[in-house]
Amino acid sequence: MTDLTAHPGGSWACHPAPINGELEMPGDKSISHRAVLLASLADGLSEIRGFLPGADCVATIAAMRSLGVQIELVQTDHLRVHGVGIDGLQAPGAPLDMGNSGTGMRLLAGVLAGQSFDSILTGDESLSSRPMMRIAAPLRAMGALVETVDGHAPLTITGRQPLQPIRYLSPVASAQVKSAVLLAGLHADGEVIVVEPGVTRDHTERMLSWLGCEIDFSNQRVSMAGGQRLTARDIDVPGDFSAAAFFIVAAAISARGEIVLRNIGVNPTRIGLLDMLTMMGADIALSEPRELGGELVSDIRIRGSELQGIDVPPELVALAIDEFPVFFIAAACASGTTRVSGAKELRHKESDRIAAMADGLTTLGIAARPQDDGIVISGGNLGSGVVRSHGDHRIAMAFAVAATVANGPVRIDDVANVATSFPNFVECSRLVGMRVQRLEPR
């Protein structure tokens, strides 16, 4: 088991050295998945630059290769994808192992629902514990044959099923559910509409549009005609905002800290963290706004500031769902109390992130009271100790950030899964003054 030890550095009281510097982030994980899937379904050759070579996204590459798509690795973050069209995939010779990737499994289920062959999607123990009925239900409503094991993976998908139009009122605000329906919709005989209870990330819609699909999306509704083909086009993947989040918070809680993050994706459906931190009093500025491959990109500057606890507005929850672990660290460093509700989705990630963060913060001396759908955190002084990551990459990285303002070292267990989303996290951390050490496996 691989662990991390992170030491104080850059806090208001514990160390004079600030957290500062300039960084570029690895490619966006969510967009990297979608780039491989949609370039594979397009007609022609696409070049993908800025691809995230993390374990989750590599699993998606392996799956598409097993489905007959030729994908060349030009450089670590540069792929050449020979698209086969929406009807050109081939039957895999074995189950498709998606590892720890919920995004990969749920989106690929949508792709496979309308194919002419049978397929099985499997994953590791963590992925096999996550809910899959949320995608099986709408796909079945479209006419697909999708079997689960008590609502979980493995998923068995029987091909050769004609897919019908659908107007799906999703009971959960989930970009993965929405994307699965849209990807299946490429084979539907008619219009596909998804209406959600809240705004979720729209990377799939933007990329479908980038590749020539006529699709209408705004707020909580998306619609498109089935049967459309995609045209190959080069895709530039912006820096991952979810990866940037760890350094955004590290700078915000650091004495005199200042970090500049270059070329970060600032899709409006992803940056709820910036809104929440700004409400807390964080000093954040965006500059050089531009568009890259249908996505909004900007540089982000963050300076250390004294934060105040807030009640998180419900409308921001879905816009920051992956960033909550590190946001909870900001809340632990803020004066007063921070309350989050309406975030039950956090209990169904790589770990139960509400419980995992509450346990870890309590270990470090912070009053963190988990609720059914959220948490209440009273800010205070972070202590040292050993915390469990529960094999969750975002929990591990969040507590590495916490250590920068702790009164002693923080040891985080079982951090191997950091490679799923941010393979060079330790190296980037050191570049801005964080004192993070990877320990030998035990």
- Would you please indicate which residues are annotated as catalytic (active-site) residues? 322
Extended beta strands in 234-336, E state: 235-236, 258-265, 283-292, 295-303
CA–CA separation, 435 vs 433, rounded Å? 6
Non-local (6+) Cβ contacts of 411 within 8 A are 3, 4, 5, 385, 386, 387, 439
Non-local (6+) Cβ contacts of 351 within 8 A are 126, 389, 390, 391, 392, 395
DSSP letters spanning 37-79 = HHHHHSEEEEEEES---SHHHHHHHHHHHHTT-EEEEEETTEE
Nearest to 37 by CA among 78, 86, 90, 96: 86
Per the structure block, which two tokens stand in for 432? 């801005």
Look-up of token digits 């963050």: 302
Cβ atoms of 56 and 296 closer than 8 Å: no
CA–CA separation, 390 vs 213, rounded Å? 40
Non-local (6+) Cβ contacts of 294 within 8 A are 206, 207, 209, 210
CA–CA separation, 242 vs 234, rounded Å? 23
Extended beta strands in 304-434, E state: 337-340, 367-371, 374-378, 385-388, 410-413
Cβ atoms of 129 and 152 closer than 8 Å: yes
CA–CA separation, 21 vs 258, rounded Å? 7
What stretches of 253-347 show up as alpha helix (H) in DSSP? 272-280, 324-333
CA–CA separation, 237 vs 353, rounded Å? 27
